[in-house]
A and B are shown apart, each in its own frame.
Chain A
Amino acid sequence: MVATTNEVSVATGVKGTTTLLDIRNVAKSFGPNPVLRDISLQIAEGEFLTILGESGSGKTTLLRIIAGFESADAGEIWMAGERLDRQPPYRRRVNTVFQHYALFPHLTVAENVGYGLRVAKVAKDEIAARVEQALAMVKMAAFAQSKPAKISGGQQQRIALARALVNRPRLLLLDEPLSALDANLRRQMQVELKSLQREVGIAFVFVTHDQEEAMVMSDRIALLRLGELEQVASPREIYSRPATAYTAQFIGHTNLLRGEIKDGIARCSGLSWRTGFRDGPALFSLRPENIRLANAATASGVVRLRGKISRQAFHGATELLQLECAEGLMVSVRTATRENWQGELELEFSPADAVPVRESEERH
């Protein structure tokens, strides 16, 4: 497995260690197609956990099983010491923010937000007070009497959030709630959602296919691939220490170097460096930003390589260069912006930045 010797494992923001939701060996098939295989995952009180995956990875199905809209074929789900998966959705202290918001079109914004309290037969005065408070929290108090069709997508999104949070659930599920918003609003909502989550202290399980969104918002990311958990870790951990080739490629941009370790020396396409890992065939992930222009002062303890620039892509703050090195090795390098990088470059990287990763097996 991945060694995290010097690296301090910063479990950013995992509040306390009390487990709120315990998913044990959950599996689900639709007909002959397995959608989830043996998923086990714990979610802590107050945690912001993102289930990240491509379409078809099973992330929405997992969320729907937690909410109770689908039942698992195998496995159990426990919440705060109680079996959750045997209860109908309307008895679970879990609320959902739906992808397309699912606001009731025949009810006003205030009636939508108060719906959960009304069906729970909360006193009228209390409903009014809590709805007002929830609308204030999402800055939508002015729209209390509007019908959902009259407000914009971003505003509907806020109402969906208020409608779920007003019930004070133990756990809030969010199914790609930002996917229908345009880029700017989306970034703004990411920040708002994150600070709202800190404020209310409710555990969020957030589903997305957008790895950047996952990195910005989460305490931990659970990366799902073809119905199995690929890796569960904090954004920093998952980025700097990806466990598998798939993770390394899906989260951010990376170079995969295929080679071999023998007697403590790693060899890949004419490059070699000392490593503490076990002998055998190996695959290394090397982030483009960890490769830099060679510097005379750091001659020792680095791996040097030469390459000819074959492509250049401008990314605003940085430049992504594609280099052709010896033995057909292609590497991506992130550098400061400069117009027209050309010719050959002398580059280097620290062996510690070449992270050994497991091969991701092919599955269908």
Chain B
Amino acid sequence: MFSRAYRAAITVPPVLWVTIFLVGSYALLFCYSFWTVSSGQTIVHSWTLDNYRELLRVDVYLQTLFRSMGIAARVMIFSLLLGYPLAYYLSFHAGNRKDLLYQLVIIPLWVSYLVRAYAWKTILGSDGVLNTLLQYLHLTKHPLEFLLYSPFAVVLTLTHIYTPFAFLPIYASLEHIPRNLVEASHDLGASPFQTFWRVIFPLSIPGVLAGATFAFVLSLGDFLAPLLLGGPSGIMISNIVVSLFGAAYNWPLGAAISFCMLGLVVGLLFLSERLEKKWSFR
């Protein structure tokens, strides 16, 4: 049907792209994770499992990983709690304001992540907007210290940033529910509340799973929010990777942690896809 030249022309660029920038660089990183760094700060190209042993031996790595997962889990839950009602309202009750509201939800995505993280810094700091307001209203005498440089600040910021990501797939799945199913449910005597729990929610589960996966995975690998707002108690696993590839100059250990993270994320994506398939009926 198509000439060989044409097929080659459209196939080769993406294959090259994936090979060089994905497979190649991951393979290199994978090799690094089995090498070591000598005392003279050079990479020793001999194969060993030491980096992976180090990961399990030193408490701080696993602790930080678990803390990261805890933060990501909280971000996921709050994003769903905010994103679902929003998506539900837009899809079923917003009427002709739907498009406008949809744009309003999307607009923050066009604003730089860094700007939004900094915005929270100015809101939550000791001299920040929130503390100033609380003191002005005489609700507190001193600035609340836990607001900034804490896991709280990280969860709050990441929730703000990733709620649209949770919202979008939920909204898409709600939009795909044929409205005659809702009518059929009412017709069969189900109240709006029963209709929600028995028809709408079960049919939106694939969207919820996709949204939850987005929020969790994106938060888990985040390093800017903890860097800017986390303080010592809000450090996440990516901060450790960043420092290992930077100041600490231990690429092999950094690569080993990266690969553990990658395995975790790929496992999650696989699981989420399996579950989404199980809950989709078309």
Asked whether B188 lies within 8 Å of A95 as measured between CB atoms, the reply is yes
Which one of B185, B187, B190, B194 lies within 8 Å of A67 (CB-CB)?
B187
Asked whether B282 lies within 8 Å of A115 as measured between CB atoms, the reply is no
Closest to B199 in A: A104
Closest to A67 in B: B187
Q: Mark B153-188, 1 if CB is under 8 A from A, else 0.
A: 000000000000000000000000010110111111
CB contacts under 8 Å to A, within B202-231, are 202-203
Asked whether B188 lies within 8 Å of A167 as measured between CB atoms, the reply is yes
Asked whether A105 lies within 8 Å of B203 as measured between CB atoms, the reply is yes
**Cβ contacts under 8 Å, A103 to chain B:** 184
Asked whether A149 lies within 8 Å of B282 as measured between CB atoms, the reply is yes
Asked whether B183 lies within 8 Å of A98 as measured between CB atoms, the reply is yes
Top 10 A-B residue pairs of the complex, sorted by shortest distance between their CB atoms: A105-B281, A116-B188, A102-B184, A102-B180, A119-B190, A89-B186, A90-B186, A96-B187, A106-B202, A119-B194
Q: Is A292 an interface residue (CB 8 A)?
A: no
**Cβ contacts under 8 Å, B281 to chain A:** 105-106, 147, 149
Q: Is B191 an interface residue (CB 8 A)?
A: yes
**Cβ contacts under 8 Å, A115 to chain B:** 185, 188, 190, 198
> In the bound complex, what is the Cα–Cα distance between A121 and B207 (angstroms)?
29
> In the bound complex, what is the Cα–Cα distance between A149 and B281 (angstroms)?
7
**Cβ contacts under 8 Å, B191 to chain A:** 90, 119
Closest to A111 in B: B198
Closest to A147 in B: B281
Asked whether B188 lies within 8 Å of A98 as measured between CB atoms, the reply is no
Closest to A89 in B: B186
> In the bound complex, what is the Cα–Cα distance between A105 and B184 (angstroms)?
12
Instruction: Given A105-B203, A119-B194, answer yes or no on A69-B184 (Cβ-Cβ < 8 Å).
Output: no
CB contacts under 8 Å to A, within B102-160, are none
Q: Is A163 an interface residue (CB 8 A)?
A: yes
Instruction: Given A115-B198, A119-B198, A149-B282, answer yes or no on A102-B189 (Cβ-Cβ < 8 Å).
Output: no
Asked whether B188 lies within 8 Å of A119 as measured between CB atoms, the reply is yes
Q: Is A142 an interface residue (CB 8 A)?
A: no
Instruction: Give the distance to chain A from B66, nearest Cβ to Cβ, in Å.
Output: 35
Asked whether B180 lies within 8 Å of A98 as measured between CB atoms, the reply is yes
Binding site for B on A (CB under 8 A): 67-69, 88-91, 94-96, 98, 100, 102-106, 115-116, 118-120, 147, 149, 163-164, 167
> In the bound complex, what is the Cα–Cα distance between A95 and B185 (angstroms)?
10
Closest to B181 in A: A102
**Cβ contacts under 8 Å, B190 to chain A:** 90, 115-116, 119
Asked whether B189 lies within 8 Å of A119 as measured between CB atoms, the reply is yes
Instruction: Give the distance to chain B from A180, nearest Cβ to Cβ, in Å.
Output: 13
**Cβ contacts under 8 Å, A118 to chain B:** 198
Binding site for A on B (CB under 8 A): 178, 180-181, 183-191, 194, 198-199, 202-203, 279, 281-282
Instruction: Give the distance to chain B from A284, nearest Cβ to Cβ, in Å.
Output: 44
**Cβ contacts under 8 Å, A105 to chain B:** 181, 203, 281-282
> In the bound complex, what is the Cα–Cα distance between A91 and B190 (angstroms)?
9
> In the bound complex, what is the Cα–Cα distance between A105 and B187 (angstroms)?
17
> In the bound complex, what is the Cα–Cα distance between A325 and B190 (angstroms)?
63
**Cβ contacts under 8 Å, B282 to chain A:** 105, 149
Asked whether B189 lies within 8 Å of A120 as measured between CB atoms, the reply is yes
Instruction: Given A105-B282, A106-B281, A115-B198, answer yes or no on A89-B203 (Cβ-Cβ < 8 Å).
Output: no
A-B contact pairs, 27 of them (CB 8 A): A67-B183, A68-B186, A69-B183, A69-B186, A69-B187, A88-B186, A89-B186, A90-B187, A94-B187, A95-B188, A96-B184, A96-B187, A98-B180, A102-B180, A103-B184, A104-B185, A104-B199, A106-B203, A115-B188, A116-B190, A118-B198, A119-B185, A119-B188, A119-B190, A119-B191, A149-B281, A164-B187
Asked whether B186 lies within 8 Å of A167 as measured between CB atoms, the reply is no
Closest to B182 in A: A102
> In the bound complex, what is the Cα–Cα distance between A339 and B181 (angstroms)?
53
> In the bound complex, what is the Cα–Cα distance between A348 and B185 (angstroms)?
58
> In the bound complex, what is the Cα–Cα distance between A267 and B180 (angstroms)?
54
Closest to B191 in A: A90
Instruction: Give the distance to chain B from A168, nearest Cβ to Cβ, in Å.
Output: 12
Instruction: Give the distance to chain A from B173, nearest Cβ to Cβ, in Å.
Output: 12
> In the bound complex, what is the Cα–Cα distance between A103 and B178 (angstroms)?
10
**Cβ contacts under 8 Å, B194 to chain A:** 119
**Cβ contacts under 8 Å, A147 to chain B:** 281
> In the bound complex, what is the Cα–Cα distance between A151 and B194 (angstroms)?
26
Asked whether A167 lies within 8 Å of B189 as measured between CB atoms, the reply is yes
Asked whether B184 lies within 8 Å of A98 as measured between CB atoms, the reply is yes
Which one of B178, B189, B279 lies within 8 Å of A116 (CB-CB)?
B189
> In the bound complex, what is the Cα–Cα distance between A94 and B202 (angstroms)?
26
> In the bound complex, what is the Cα–Cα distance between A69 and B181 (angstroms)?
12
> In the bound complex, what is the Cα–Cα distance between A243 and B194 (angstroms)?
48
Which one of B181, B189, B199, B279 lies within 8 Å of A90 (CB-CB)?
B189
> In the bound complex, what is the Cα–Cα distance between A312 and B103 (angstroms)?
62
